[in-house]
Structure 1
């Protein structure tokens, strides 16, 4: 549904200022850079996120570092043999895999 004058709601007709351009570039760069997760002060960074379901498999990812970002990197451990509705078996597999 358009406005009576034929424009869309978010049309911007004025020239874009240098400040707006710099702000846009800074936001784009901030989104592209990996963010450091704020962890508990006593966490040494060796922890894992726990088991969860991704793309039809159970995965275990670390809290930080390579493999910690969903959609970007491969998880450290993955298993497709456990059915999706068996969380208890997936948790047992995670504990066995991590040696806990």
Structure 2
């Protein structure tokens, strides 16, 4: 899978940082491991996780795509107006936010 001259594309000769090695190892492992974030068989891809607490607020995140990763992206819906011990109100808010 190399170029006709036997060299790899964008070949780099020099020191490789530990960060680059760890990143390469993680990418290789992700490709080998089975997908952990399985959707429900009847889910068409627009599913959301249930309402949950994150960083002092109630949030709704999609199952996949932008907004699905907790530490990386903002959730699609979030509120601090509901107290943490009132889960029923948070569920009602989530249904209203999704238009259900």
Same fold (TM over 0.5): yes
* 5+ residue gaps, structure 2: 1-20
Going from structure 1 to structure 2, the CA distance change for 1:54 and 1:31 (only over 3 Å counts) comes to farther
- 1:52 aligns with 52
1:28 to 3, 26, 29: 26
Higher strand fraction (1 or 2): 1
SS in 1 for 2:26: helix
* 5+ residue gaps, structure 1: 1-22
User: Aligned Cα RMSD in Å?
Assistant: 2.6
Equivalent residues, number? 77
Q: Does the alignment pair 1:79 with 2:79?
A: yes
Q: TM (normalized to structure 2)?
A: 0.65
Going from structure 1 to structure 2, the CA distance change for 1:28 and 1:45 (only over 3 Å counts) comes to same
